[in-house]
Structure 1
Amino acid sequence: MSTLEEHVDVGVPIDTAWNSLHRVEGYPRFVEGVREARSETEGRARLDVEAGGRSREFETELSDRGGERVMEWRTTGGPPLTGSFSLQELGRDRTRVQIRLEYDPGAVRETFGGPKGFAQANAIERIVRSDLEQFKEYVEHER
């Protein structure tokens, strides 16, 4: 498994960022490749994803450690992906959003295609960084 950690500081209160992460239906606005996202019952969400010219539907399980402002998720089926969003209050109107992603590069390549090895890791890092910047824009302009 490979692990990637990235963060972005956003100009909104921690509650605003936390609530935005929980609006699954908004994911297509800031997560590359997500065409549609739906909340389901009991902490589940369904994501329709297109990447590498391939479309896939994934079910994810979401769980919160609300007192710690950590939202964890994992795919159930498809490539094994697990991750978390951690929020840290930096000030009244400033929040750090950190993502931690664990993935099997071979399984991601098998599911979506694309390059092998280092080139694939660079592509995943670039996508995650871009998603965080898109989240920043989304959350700062949704107020």
Structure 2
Amino acid sequence: MSTLEEHVDVGVPIDRAWDGLHRVENYPRFLAGVREARTEAGGRARLDVEAGGPAREFEAEMSDRAGERVLEWRTTGAPRLAGSFSLLAIDQDHTRVQARVEYDPATVRETFGGPKGFAQANAIERLVRGDLEQFKEYVEQER
């Protein structure tokens, strides 16, 4: 498994950033390739994703460690992906959003296509960085 960690500082209080991460139906606004997202019973979310090939549907389990401001997730089928979003208040009006993604490069390549090796790691890093920047824009506009 490979692990990627990226972060972005957003100009909103921690509660607003936390609420933004929990609006699953708005994931298409900031997660590249997500066409539709919906919450389901039992802490699950269903995502319709189109990335590097035909559209696919993924189910993810999501769990909160609200006291720590950590949202963890993992896919329930193939490809096996897992990660978390951790929030840290910088000050009253600014929050650091830390994204952590765990993935198997071979599985990601089989599922979504794309380059091999270091080039794939760079592509995934750019994707996560772009998603964080889009989250920043989304949550700051939701004032």
Query: Shorter-chain TM-score: which interval?
Result: over 0.9
Aligned-residue identity in percent = 78
Q: Which runs of 4+ in 1 moved over 6 A?
A: none
State the TM-score, normalizing by the size of structure 2: 0.99
Equivalent residue number for residue 103 of structure 1: 103
Matched, 1:69 2:75: no
For 1:78 and 1:112, the matched residues in 2 are separated by: 11
For 1:41 and 1:21, the matched residues in 2 are separated by: 17
SS in 2 for 1:12: coil
Equivalences for residues 26-45 of structure 1 within 5 A: 26-45=26-45
Tell me the CA shift for residue 54 of structure 1.
2.3
For 1:53 and 1:41, the matched residues in 2 are separated by: 29
Question: What whole-Å deviation, never above 9, does each CA across 1:78-123 have from its counterpart, x for those lacking one?
Answer: 2110000000000111000000000001001101111111111110
State the TM-score, normalizing by the size of structure 1: 0.99
Let me know the Cα RMSD of the aligned residues: 0.5
Tell me the CA shift for residue 55 of structure 1.
1.3
For 1:21 and 1:108, the matched residues in 2 are separated by: 24
Aligned residue pairs total 143
Equivalent residue number for residue 114 of structure 1: 114
SS in 1 for 2:12: coil
Equivalent residue number for residue 55 of structure 1: 55
Question: What whole-Å deviation, never above 9, does each CA across 1:32-59 have from its counterpart, x for those lacking one?
Answer: 0000000000100000001112211000
Unpaired runs of at least 5, structure 1: none
Question: What whole-Å deviation, never above 9, does each CA across 1:8-43 have from its counterpart, x for those lacking one?
Answer: 000000000000000000000000000000000010
